[in-house]
Amino acid sequence: MEDEYKKLQDAAGEELARIHGGERGYIQWLGQHSPFWTRLISYMMIEVGRGAESELPLSVYKALLDTFLALNRQAFSMWKERDWFEVRSKPLPPGPAN
């Protein structure tokens, strides 16, 4: 049974590498702009480890890995569009006085 979990983890690792292409700065950037996302991704990573240790049913474990990958895919997409987020996180200049 352990081999099946290992295969799923290896496939998830390959997919994660495909998502970010070696550019892991998206996590640090995200931590500055949305700490919630980094906590969520970190929590999911812990759950992935626990799921393998406790031998969750494989279908449940696969869904957990899929969710972890989806969160990373979303985070990386946000990072790729970081200019949009950075512009909107700056305070707006004061408007004309009335």
Neighbours of 33 (CB within 10 A): 16
Residues comprising the chain, all counted: 98
Q: Is residue 38 left, alpha or beta, with left meaning phi > 0 and alpha meaning psi from -120 to 50?
A: alpha
Place 70 in a pLDDT band, splitting at 50, 70 and 90: very high
Task: Indicate the pTM of the whole model.
Answer: 0.84
Residues 6+ away with beta carbon under 8 Å from 34: 78
Residue 4: what pLDDT? 93
- For 83-95, the three-class secondary structure string (H helix, E strand, C coil) is HHHHHHHCCCCCC
Residue 97: what pLDDT? 59
> Residues 53, 61: contact at Cβ < 8 Å?
no
